[in-house]
Amino acid sequence: MYAILAEKPSAAKAFAQALNGKKQGRIYVAPPPSLLPEGALICATVGHILEFLEPSELDEKYTSYSLDSLPIIIDNFQYKVVSDKKEVLQTIKNTIFDKRVKTIILATDAASEGEYI
Protein backbone atom coordinates (compact mmCIF):
# COMPACT_ATOMS: atom_id res chain seq x y z
CA MET A 1 0.00 0.00 0.00
CA TYR A 2 1.08 3.56 -0.70
CA ALA A 3 0.85 6.62 1.51
CA ILE A 4 0.39 9.84 -0.42
CA LEU A 5 1.17 13.10 1.39
CA ALA A 6 -0.50 15.97 -0.44
CA GLU A 7 0.40 19.60 0.03
CA LYS A 8 -3.15 20.72 0.79
CA PRO A 9 -6.61 19.21 1.33
CA SER A 10 -7.85 20.05 -2.17
CA ALA A 11 -4.89 18.16 -3.69
CA ALA A 12 -5.59 15.16 -1.44
CA LYS A 13 -9.21 15.19 -2.58
CA ALA A 14 -8.14 15.36 -6.25
CA PHE A 15 -5.76 12.40 -5.80
CA ALA A 16 -8.53 10.46 -4.06
CA GLN A 17 -10.99 11.17 -6.87
CA ALA A 18 -8.45 9.98 -9.47
CA LEU A 19 -7.89 6.78 -7.46
CA ASN A 20 -11.58 6.14 -6.61
CA GLY A 21 -10.79 6.87 -2.97
CA LYS A 22 -13.33 7.48 -0.25
CA LYS A 23 -12.98 9.75 2.76
CA GLN A 24 -12.49 7.92 6.04
CA GLY A 25 -12.06 10.29 8.94
CA ARG A 26 -9.23 12.72 8.17
CA ILE A 27 -7.78 10.73 5.24
CA TYR A 28 -8.87 9.20 1.97
CA VAL A 29 -8.54 5.49 1.24
CA ALA A 30 -8.10 4.36 -2.36
CA PRO A 31 -8.84 0.66 -2.65
CA PRO A 32 -6.95 -1.82 -4.78
CA PRO A 33 -7.01 -2.24 -7.66
CA SER A 34 -6.60 1.37 -8.65
CA LEU A 35 -3.81 3.07 -10.54
CA LEU A 36 -1.80 1.97 -7.52
CA PRO A 37 -2.34 -1.79 -7.41
CA GLU A 38 -2.03 -2.07 -3.63
CA GLY A 39 -4.28 0.91 -2.92
CA ALA A 40 -3.35 4.07 -1.06
CA LEU A 41 -3.89 6.13 2.05
CA ILE A 42 -4.01 9.82 1.17
CA CYS A 43 -3.55 12.64 3.67
CA ALA A 44 -2.78 16.33 3.45
CA THR A 45 -0.76 18.87 5.27
CA VAL A 46 -2.14 22.35 5.86
CA GLY A 47 0.52 25.02 5.58
CA HIS A 48 3.52 24.89 7.86
CA ILE A 49 3.18 22.36 10.66
CA LEU A 50 6.62 22.88 12.22
CA GLU A 51 8.45 26.05 13.21
CA PHE A 52 11.83 26.86 14.70
CA LEU A 53 12.08 27.39 18.43
CA GLU A 54 12.51 31.05 19.32
CA PRO A 55 15.96 32.00 20.64
CA SER A 56 14.44 32.60 24.09
CA GLU A 57 13.18 29.00 24.07
CA LEU A 58 16.73 27.80 23.49
CA ASP A 59 18.46 29.95 26.08
CA GLU A 60 17.15 32.32 28.77
CA LYS A 61 19.81 34.89 27.90
CA TYR A 62 17.80 35.69 24.75
CA THR A 63 14.63 36.54 26.66
CA SER A 64 15.40 40.21 26.18
CA TYR A 65 17.47 41.29 23.22
CA SER A 66 20.46 43.51 23.48
CA LEU A 67 23.20 44.42 21.04
CA ASP A 68 25.60 42.46 23.22
CA SER A 69 23.81 39.21 22.41
CA LEU A 70 23.91 39.73 18.64
CA PRO A 71 24.42 37.97 16.38
CA ILE A 72 22.51 34.96 17.62
CA ILE A 73 24.21 31.92 16.17
CA ILE A 74 22.36 28.66 16.59
CA ASP A 75 24.39 25.48 16.14
CA ASN A 76 21.53 23.04 16.47
CA PHE A 77 18.18 24.19 15.12
CA GLN A 78 15.23 22.73 16.94
CA TYR A 79 11.61 22.58 15.88
CA LYS A 80 8.22 22.55 17.52
CA VAL A 81 4.77 21.78 16.20
CA VAL A 82 2.69 24.84 15.37
CA SER A 83 0.09 24.86 18.13
CA ASP A 84 -3.00 24.51 15.94
CA LYS A 85 -1.41 21.83 13.69
CA LYS A 86 -0.89 19.02 16.20
CA GLU A 87 -3.85 17.02 14.89
CA VAL A 88 -2.62 17.43 11.29
CA LEU A 89 0.83 16.14 12.23
CA GLN A 90 -0.67 13.18 14.09
CA THR A 91 -2.77 12.28 11.04
CA ILE A 92 0.32 12.40 8.82
CA LYS A 93 2.29 10.24 11.26
CA ASN A 94 -0.55 7.73 11.55
CA THR A 95 -0.75 7.51 7.77
CA ILE A 96 2.92 7.15 6.90
CA PHE A 97 3.62 4.75 9.79
CA ASP A 98 0.58 2.57 9.07
CA LYS A 99 1.84 -1.03 8.96
CA ARG A 100 0.27 -1.60 5.54
CA VAL A 101 2.28 1.24 3.94
CA LYS A 102 5.32 0.13 1.96
CA THR A 103 5.93 3.28 -0.12
CA ILE A 104 5.48 6.97 0.65
CA ILE A 105 4.76 9.41 -2.18
CA LEU A 106 5.53 13.03 -1.38
CA ALA A 107 3.03 14.86 -3.57
CA THR A 108 3.88 18.42 -2.63
CA ASP A 109 5.10 21.44 -4.55
CA ALA A 110 8.48 20.86 -6.21
CA ALA A 111 9.77 24.20 -4.89
CA SER A 112 11.80 24.24 -1.68
CA GLU A 113 8.75 25.16 0.44
CA GLY A 114 6.94 22.00 -0.68
CA GLU A 115 10.00 19.85 -0.25
CA TYR A 116 10.41 20.95 3.36
CA ILE A 117 7.05 19.39 4.18
The domains located in the chain, with CATH, are: 2-48+83-116 (3.40.50.140)
Spatial contact of 105 and 5, defined as CB atoms under 8 Å apart: yes
Q: In what order do the strands lie in the sheet with 27-30?
A: 22-24, 27-30, 40-44, 2-6, 103-107
pLDDT category of residue 112 using cuts at 50, 70 and 90: low
Name the average pLDDT for the chain: 89
28 pLDDT above the threshold of 80: yes
pTM score of the predicted model: 0.79
Spatial contact of 106 and 117, defined as CB atoms under 8 Å apart: yes
pLDDT category of residue 66 using cuts at 50, 70 and 90: confident
84 pLDDT above the threshold of 90: yes
Spatial contact of 9 and 45, defined as CB atoms under 8 Å apart: no
